[in-house]
Every structure is written in C-alpha cells, then in structure tokens.
C-alpha cells in the first residue's frame, strides 16, 4: 500500500471509529458514506490510482459500496484507460444492486466509451428500462470513438421520442451538450458533410449562441480544412474566450495559413484575452513558416513573461522557429538552455543545422544525443539523413541509414527513402537511387519519386526523369511543382516538344502556377511584394533605389543585353522580381547591421540564400544555404527550378550597401 493510500485508509478508519458508536437521539451513520467522501476527494484531486487502491481496501474491510461509490471509480478507470477494471466494476455494480441507478449507468456508458469499447457502452444503454436519460452519454461515446454516423442515428431516435412525447419525465430534450457531442465527433475531413448537417441543426435549435458549441464548430471546420467557414463563425461570435482564439489560431496553423495566424494573434492581444501555451505554439509555428523572426522574438518574451519557459513543447518550438528563420545562434542558445532534452528537442536542433548545410555539426549532435542515453526514433533519422544530403555527406548518410535498420531496429518509411534517394541523386548515383526505390519494402510515395526527379534535373537525365514523372503524377496528379520541374528538364535539353506536352497536360488538368511573392518581417508586421508591385506607399523610393543600383550594374557590364533589358523593365515598373522589391524595402527602413530575412513562396530567382557580412578587409562573403524542402543546391550561380520555397537572409552594414548591391544584382543577372 502506498503512503498516500495508507493515510487515506487511516482517515477513513478514524471516521468509522467515531461514526459507528450509538448516539442517543441521532440516526445511525452509514460508514459507506465516509468511504465515498474520501473517494470523491481523491477523484477531485485527480488521484485516480489512489482512488482504486482505496476501493480495494474498502472491500477488504468488509464495507459494501453503493450507487454513490461507483461513479468516482469509473471516472478513475476512464482517465487511466483500464477496460478490464471497468468490466470488474460493472460486475460489482450488478452484484450490489446499483445497476438501476441512472447516474451509475451513465458513468458506465461514458467509461466504456473512453476505454474504446463503444459496443459495451451500447449494450448498457440498450439494457436500460428507460434509456432516454442517457442519450447524451451514448452520443458522446460514439463521437469520442469517431463514429459520427451512429451518433447521428441515435440523435434522430432521440428527436423522434421527443417529438412523440414518449418520455413523461422530459429527459430526452435536445440541449447544448447534445449538440456539442455531435459536433466533436466530426473533426476529420471525411466527416465534414455530417458536420455541416449538424451545424444546420445547431442553428435550427438556437444553440449557436452557446459559447462551447460555437467553439466546437470553429474547431471542427479548422480540423476539416475549411478555415473559411471557421472564420465566418468566429467573426459572428459576440463573446470569445481563450478556447475560441486558440481554435481559430490552431485551425489556420494546421492548414498552412501562417499570415492569418499572426493576424488573429494580433487581434487577440488587442482583445485583452490572456494567451496560454497552446496559443504560443500555434504562433511560433506560423513564425517558423514565414521566417518572421522578429515576431518570434516577441513570442519568446511572452513565453518567459507568462512563466512558460520550462514548457518542453514551447522550447522545442522556439528552437524550430529560430532554425527555420536561419538564426542557428539563437536556436542553439534555446536548445542549450533547455533542461532535460527529449528526442524531439534533439530532432529540432539537428534538423535546423541540417537544412542550412551544417551536416558535420548535425552529425556531431546526433552522436551526442546517443551518448546521452536518448534513443533515436524515426523522426530524428529523417533530420540526420536530410543533413547528410544537404552537406554532400553521401557515405555517412548511407551508414546512418543502415544503422537505423540494423542497430536500432527501426523500419524506414517513405520519408527516409526520399532522403536517401535525394542523397544518392545529389552525388550523381542515379542508378543506385533507382535500385533503392525498387527494393523498398513500402510503397514509394510522391516525395520519393520527386527526389529522383529533382536529381534528374541536376544531372540532366531526361529518360529517368520521364520514368520518375510517370510515377509521381499517378500519386500526386495535382502537384504543379512536378510538371514545372519536368518542363524545365525538357527546356535544358532543348526538347521543345516535351515542353509542349507538359503544358498541354497542365492545361487539361487546369493547373496554374501560383503567383510568386516575397515577404519581409518589419517591426512585427509582414510586408508582401509581388513581381512588378506598385501598391506599396514607398513605391517611388523603392524603384528609385533599384534604378540607381541597376545603373551601377550597367557600369560593371555595359554591354550585357540581359542587364539592359532588366533596366528597361525597371523604368516602366514591370517585371521586377519580388525579392528585389522586398530587399529594397527592408534596406530603406532598417538600420545599419540589421538582419533581414526575405521569404519567397516559389523558387528563388537569384541565389537561394546568402549571408553577406563585413570583414576587416571589406570583402563580402556569399554562402549558399538551402531549405529542407528544396531538392538541390544552388549551383554555379543558377537557382534550382524545382524549389517551392526559399529564404534570403542578409546582414548588412551601411558602409557595404553599395558593394552588397553590386554583388547582388551582378549575380542575379546570370540566374
């Protein structure tokens, strides 16, 4: 018996000693009540294991439970997910004659459902002489086990009984709890149509004004990918609590609407609602996707201000955010200051170094992780293999791939194979990559064939590219990136017929490239620029700077026709690439020495990422870095056509601005 259980047992025994004595004129005390009171306290304090231990002591002491005893015990079983114990308690319920009690029945239904035994719950429901009072419990059980159809059928039965007036006690009325249970069961995309029908019922019965029901609808639409409907409900709500804001932020975050996350977060701060860890996790994810390091720093201050600094999920999110923004110094600072490091923590920092080409550092950290006693999982191997791929460490990557299978007994998934295919492809070992795909024990997904297609672009292997394309479009027919990649492969091979075939396929499938845009974080706000953008208030100043800098390039390359053509585009204000506009805006508005991060949604037209810093000899250093989503390095001044996103990070001093722009525009001419 644990010390805590012994104390509980002792306290109950003392009560028994006092309660069992006869007092003239007073009714005799039922000793079971003392046990029930102690069980209630343990359940209230979430000491569920101790509650079950106390019940065993109660039975050993020859005291018999009653209908008030079992709900506390069943709640403990539901929390601890103990299906066998639930069945034993159910037998005790029957033996003690407590089964007719509706509250006990409802607790049994709820506990069986929480233990993933909905059929047992339904059996209890069907055996009730008057099951109407437990409709909500059974509907909630079906929803909890992702059976919305069964929940809806039971709801319809409930409505028929209500309309026919079969329940004389009026226990079958639909209420907010009913609607809340129905909505919660439709939080996956395959159940969206059912959820929309339930939404109609919510409106019909007038429960849309109930805060909990409205929050559940926002959550449901967000999880189903319909953030527009979620936002419509959100905007129409007169009262919003923390759950409301978190539901909207999580919905946007899960569906890749990072800019909308920051917009909602900004409104939340103005509303006066205090944030919690869930809020900040969603915002940090958005900052990582946008490269919004400035906002991310503000969020880190919020983390410390609210006392969430020890939260491991937030620490890992901060590491990931700084790494995705290219600031590995800050990422490493947060990582080193973390207390106990889980495999998720190691994965975040290893992945950060990997995507920026620091493969040796990533490998060193992986070895330290193993030495510290943390067992690697499949996710960390994805980061390690990706790091080896980006750093060109082909043999080391293959060694880790073998260790994963032989040393750690982990079965590689498609994500691991795509990293190894990319690893071999970058090294020009295309036949080995193809052999690996053929030997896969799992079905290759689009990422695997896409990695091979990207490798074919680097090494100009048209035949293998066509084979990879055939497989990848079967798996992801609407992914326009693969069509663009094959078209570029044909272009490099001067195969105009192939280019036309790809364009016809795109036209038949109604695929169009998304417009390219770049965005920059300035004073906690994201500024977006499109190609040839004229909408910004500082438009004249931006184009004036570009015009002056283009003239500098003309002085360097006076006979370059491409340069002259670009200059003419600047004069008429069209065709100027969005990354140039974003960088010019940042240079106009930032102080000397400020770090500038420019993000782009499509492939980068100039060098994918570079850092320019001043040295004592006033030289500039340009170092290529690539995001993990890219298929290949920026090579020989030529951007990777297949890149779907990229980042430009620049540290600039005022004395070097002219030199920086000369280098920047000089390199971009030849892309």
Write out pLDDT tens, residues 437-482.
999 988 999 999 999 999 999 999 999 999 999 999 999 999 988 9
Distance, in Å, from the CA atom of 358 to the CA atom of 343, rounded to the nearest integer, reads 19
Q: How many CB atoms lie within 10 A of CB 241?
A: 13
* DSSP character at residue 27: P
Distance, in Å, from the CA atom of 391 to the CA atom of 645, rounded to the nearest integer, reads 19
Distance, in Å, from the CA atom of 172 to the CA atom of 160, rounded to the nearest integer, reads 10
Average pLDDT rounded to a whole number, residues 178-206: 91
In sequence order, the 6+-apart residues with CB closer than 8 A to the CB of 614 are 620, 653, 655, 656
- Specify the length of the chain in residues: 671
Query: Of the ranges 44-48, 410-414, 489-493, 552-556, which one carries the lowest mean pLDDT score?
Result: 552-556
* Segments making up each domain of the chain, as ranges: 1-129, 518-669
Question: Where does residue 204 rank: exposed (0-12), middle (13-18), buried (19+ CB within 10 A)?
Answer: exposed
Distance, in Å, from the CA atom of 220 to the CA atom of 552, rounded to the nearest integer, reads 56
What per-residue confidence (pLDDT) applies to 661?
47
Asked if 502 contacts 487 with a C-beta cutoff of 8 angstroms, the reply is: yes
Query: Of the ranges 87-91, 148-152, 220-224, 588-592, which one carries the lowest mean pLDDT score?
Result: 588-592
Query: Of the ranges 45-54, 392-401, 582-591, which one carries the lowest mean pLDDT score?
Result: 582-591
> Does 353 have pLDDT greater than 60?
yes
What per-residue confidence (pLDDT) applies to 523?
77
Beta strands 646-651 and 525-530, pairing class: unpaired
Beta strands in 550-621 (DSSP E): 595-600
Write out pLDDT tens, residues 85-130.
999 999 999 988 887 888 899 999 999 999 999 999 999 998 887 7
Which string of b and e fits 409-429 if b means at least 16 CB within 10 Å?
ebebeebbbbbbbbbbbbbeb
Distance, in Å, from the CA atom of 338 to the CA atom of 349, rounded to the nearest integer, reads 12
Average pLDDT rounded to a whole number, residues 364-374: 95
Q: How far is CA 592 from the centre of its chain?
A: 36
In sequence order, the 6+-apart residues with CB closer than 8 A to the CB of 149 are 194
If pLDDT is split at 50, 70 and 90, which confidence band does 515 have?
Answer: confident
What three-state secondary structure class fits 220? helix
Tokens representing 415?
A: 């994500």
Which string of b and e fits 51-68 if b means at least 16 CB within 10 Å?
bbbbbebbeeeebebbbb
- C-alpha separations of 16 from 25, 28, 32, 79 in Å: 19, 12, 9, 29
How far is it between the farthest Cα atoms of the chain? 116
CA-nearest of 370, 388, 286, 288 to 334 is 288
Mean pLDDT of the chain, nearest integer:
80
Question: E strand or H helix at 437, and its extent?
Answer: helix 430-438
If pLDDT is split at 50, 70 and 90, which confidence band does 322 have?
Answer: very high
> Does 651 have pLDDT greater than 70?
no
> Does 537 have pLDDT greater than 50?
yes
- C-alpha separations of 654 from 168, 293, 540, 598, 613 in Å: 83, 21, 21, 18, 11
Residue 286 exposure: Cα atoms within 13 Å on the Cβ side: 31
Residue with tokens 């969430």: 308
- The percentage of the chain sitting over the pLDDT mark of 70, rounded to a whole number, equals 79
Distance, in Å, from the CA atom of 229 to the CA atom of 175, rounded to the nearest integer, reads 23
Radius of gyration of the chain (CA): 32
Distance, in Å, from the CA atom of 31 to the CA atom of 20, rounded to the nearest integer, reads 7
What per-residue confidence (pLDDT) applies to 146?
87
Beta strands 646-651 and 517-522, pairing class: unpaired
Asked if 172 contacts 132 with a C-beta cutoff of 8 angstroms, the reply is: yes
Numbers of helices and strands, H then E, in the chain: 33, 4
What per-residue confidence (pLDDT) applies to 165?
63
What per-residue confidence (pLDDT) applies to 364?
95
Distance, in Å, from the CA atom of 546 to the CA atom of 670, rounded to the nearest integer, reads 17
CA-nearest of 261, 270, 262 to 240 is 270
Q: How far is CA 419 from the centre of its chain?
A: 21
What per-residue confidence (pLDDT) applies to 549?
65
Write out pLDDT tens, residues 247-269.
999 999 999 999 899 999 999 99
Write out pLDDT tens, residues 422-434.
999 999 999 999 9
The dihedral region occupied by 169, where left means phi > 0, alpha psi between -120 and 50, and beta the remainder, is alpha
Question: Where does residue 266 rank: exposed (0-12), middle (13-18), buried (19+ CB within 10 A)?
Answer: middle
What per-residue confidence (pLDDT) applies to 97?
86
Average pLDDT rounded to a whole number, residues 42-64: 88
If pLDDT is split at 50, 70 and 90, which confidence band does 545 have?
Answer: confident
Query: Of the ranges 14-28, 302-316, 441-455, 487-501, which one carries the lowest mean pLDDT score?
Result: 14-28
Q: What is the pTM (predicted TM-score) of this model? A: 0.76
CA-nearest of 279, 353, 358 to 319 is 353
Question: What is the torsional sign of CA 40, 42, 48, 53?
Answer: negative
What per-residue confidence (pLDDT) applies to 67?
85
> Does 667 have pLDDT greater than 80?
no
The dihedral region occupied by 618, where left means phi > 0, alpha psi between -120 and 50, and beta the remainder, is left
User: Please, which contacts does 163-172 make with residues 24 or more away whose CB atoms are closer than 8 Å?
Assistant: 166/132, 167/130, 167/132, 169/132, 169/133, 171/132, 171/133, 172/132, 172/133, 172/135
């Amino acid at each position: 018996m644990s010390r805590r259980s012994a104390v509980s047992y002792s306290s109950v025994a003392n009560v028994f000693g006092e309660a069992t004595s006869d007092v003239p004129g007073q009714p005799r005390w039922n000793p079971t009540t003392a046990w029930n009171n102690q069980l209630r306290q343990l359940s209230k304090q979430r000491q569920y294991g101790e509650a079950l231990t106390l019940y065993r002591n109660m039975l050993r002491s020859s005291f018999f439970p009653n209908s008030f005893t079992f709900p506390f015990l069943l709640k403990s079983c539901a929390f601890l997910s103990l299906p066998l114990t639930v069945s034993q308690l159910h037998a005790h319920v029957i033996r003690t004659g407590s089964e007719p009690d509706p509250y006990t029945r409802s607790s049994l239904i709820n506990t069986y459902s929480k233990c993933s035994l909905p059929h047992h719950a339904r059996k209890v429901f069907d055996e009730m002489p008057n099951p109407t009072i437990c409709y909500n419990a059974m509907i909630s059980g079906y929803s909890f086990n992702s059976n919305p159809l069964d929940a809806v059928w039971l709801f319809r039965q409930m409505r028929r009984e209500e309309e026919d007036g079969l329940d004389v006690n009026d226990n079958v009325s639909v209420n907010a709890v009913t609607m809340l249970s129905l909505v919660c069961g439709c939080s996956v995309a395959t159940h969206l149509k059912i959820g929309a029908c339930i939404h109609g019922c919510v409106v019909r019965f007038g429960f849309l004004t109930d805060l909990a029901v409205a929050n559940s609808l926002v959550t449901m639409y967000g999880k189903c990918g319909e953030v527009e409907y979620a936002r419509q409900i959100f905007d129409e709500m007169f009262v919003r609590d923390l759950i409301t804001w978190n539901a909207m932020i999580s919905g946007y975050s899960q569906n890749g609407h990072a800019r909308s996350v920051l917009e909602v977060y900004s409104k939340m701060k103005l509303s006066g609602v205090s944030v919690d860890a869930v809020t900040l996790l969603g915002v940090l994810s958005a900052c990582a996707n946008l490269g919004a390091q400035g906002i991310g720093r503000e969020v880190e201050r919020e983390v410390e201000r609210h006392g969430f600094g020890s939260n491991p999920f937030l620490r890992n999110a901060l590491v990931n955010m700084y790494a995705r923004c290219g600031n590995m110094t800050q990422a490493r600072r947060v990582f080193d200051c973390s207390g106990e490091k889980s495999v998720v923590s190691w994965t975040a920092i290893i992945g950060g170094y990997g995507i920026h080409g620091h493969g040796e550092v990533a490998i060193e950290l992986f070895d330290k992780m193993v030495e510290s006693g943390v067992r690697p999982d499949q996710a960390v191997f994805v980061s390690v293999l990706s790091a080896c791929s980006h750093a060109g460490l082909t043999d080391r990557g293959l060694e880790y791939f073998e260790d994963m299978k032989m040393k750690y007994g982990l079965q590689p998934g498609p994500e691991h194979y795509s990293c190894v295919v990319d690893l071999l492809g970058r090294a020009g070992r295309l036949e080995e990559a193809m052999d690996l795909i053929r030997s896969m024990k799992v079905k290759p997904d689009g990422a695997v064939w896409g990695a091979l297609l990207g490798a074919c672009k680097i090494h100009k292997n048209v035949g293998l590219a066509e084979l990879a394309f055939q497989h990848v479009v079967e798996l992801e027919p609407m992914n326009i990136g693969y069509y663009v990649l094959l078209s570029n492969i044909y272009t490099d091979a001067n195969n105009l017929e192939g280019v036309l075939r790809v364009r016809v396929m795109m036209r038949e499938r109604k695929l169009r490239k998304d417009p390219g845009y770049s965005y920059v974080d300035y004073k906690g706000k994201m500024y977006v620029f499109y190609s040839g953008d004229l909408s910004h208030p500082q438009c004249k100043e931006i184009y004036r700077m570009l015009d002056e800098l283009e003239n500098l390039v003309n002085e360097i390359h006076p006979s370059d026709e491409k340069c002259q053509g670009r200059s003419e585009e600047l004069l008429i204000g069209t065709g100027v690439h969005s990354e140039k506009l974003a960088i010019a805006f940042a240079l106009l508005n930032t102080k000397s020495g400020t770090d500038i991060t420019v993000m782009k949604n499509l492939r980068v037209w100039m060098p994918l990422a570079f850092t320019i810093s001043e040295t004592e000899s006033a030289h500039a250093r340009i170092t290529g870095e690539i995001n993990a989503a890219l298929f290949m390095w920026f090579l020989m001044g030529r951007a990777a056509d297949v890149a779907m996103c990229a980042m430009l990070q620049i540290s600039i001093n005022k004395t070097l601005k002219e030199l920086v722009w000369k280098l920047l525009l000089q390199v971009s001419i030849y892309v």
